[in-house]
Amino acid sequence: MLENLAVVGATGAVGSIVRQLLEERDLPFKTIKFLASKRSAGKTLLFKGEPHTVEELRPEAFDEVDLAIASTPDDTARQFAPWAVDRGAVVVDESGAWRMDDHVPLVVPEVNAGELANHQGIIASPNCSTIQMVVAMKPLHDAGRIRRVVVSTYQATSGAGQVGQLDLECGARAALDDEEYEYQAFSHPIAFNLIPQIGSSKHEDYTSEEMKMVWETHKIFGDDSIAICPTCVRVPVANCHSESILVETEKSLSVAEAKEAFVAAEGITVIDDLNAGQYPMPADCSGRNEVFVGRIRRDISSENGLAFWCVADNLRKGAATNAVQIAEALLASRAAV
């Protein structure tokens, strides 16, 4: 059992879900504290019916903390994580600050929980779009070894934070009323529109969001030979990222074999009945912790190709849930020693 647990960024959108998950799940700890920026310090949060005062994020806040689950901006994570580690805490970090650091494991528990044994105080959780893709890839990779992936993402505005949600809601109202609206999170209107750019230009006209999916997937699977071609698109959906994924495997897998592998996999729910109009949709998957897969079919353009549709709540499995699952897996591995 943990003695002392800290939630960093506790008042943010992801931090709020972390608090909810910790109330719902059986992560064992004796005491908990909530940390946030100076602006939020002093606020009162209810946790399991008890009031807790939010503390300012500073080095001394990590004294006697055993484990910290954190969701902060990258710059904040780069600053505070060494404070926590120096004071003996393990940090499960949701930001992008440490993901590609050679000394930091990048973990999705359903895929590579064994990497937790290699941590040196910091464990990184991947980008939301990467997480759901690698969870879906894992059973097919185990069954037939994936050699190529072509993925197009349809990413919700909640991925851009509360201001992204505001842009969707206010922009849609303004568009319907034929009024002007000044977008804050997006450089183009998101209401009734698609924006085929998430992040800045990063590599050969691929964006930073797209290259995260390449580099993080290689690190998670420990295999740089997997060819990945991503296109990331922001869509006017409030919550849940969707992905159209095509994989090519070394060993040919039938649709039946792929579906059987998905059904047996940890963390995946299959909804796949085209004739009945049954497949994963954001409206049905929001608020859920698993990765949903459907529209499983043979790629008619490739001998060893399979195509499928994948949906997950980007604030839960794409962020808060994965971080809490990392903490659970870490504690379970300690208990097994």
Q: Half-sphere exposure of residue 1, counting CA atoms within 13 Å on the CB side?
A: 7
Q: Is 188 a catalytic residue?
A: no
Query: Could you give the dihedral angle defined by the CA atoms of residues 170, 174, 175 and 178, in that order, rounded to the nearest 10 degrees?
Result: 180
- CA-based nearest residue to 310, from 240, 248, 239: 240
119, 128, 285, 310: which is the annotated catalytic residue? Answer: 128
Q: H/E element holding 234? A: strand 227-234
CB 199 within 8 A of CB 207: yes
Distance CA 211, CA 232 (A): 10
- Determine phi and psi for 64, rounding to 5 degrees: 70, 5
Of the candidates 268, 113, 290, the residue with the CA atom closest to the CA atom of residue 258:
268
Instruction: Give the DSSP letter of residue 226.
Output: S
120, 98 contact by CB (below 8 A): no
Report the half-sphere exposure of 317 (CA within 13 A, side-chain side): 31
Task: Check if 232 is active-site.
Answer: no
Catalytic annotation, pick one of 119, 141, 240, 241 = 241
Show which residues are catalytic: 128, 241
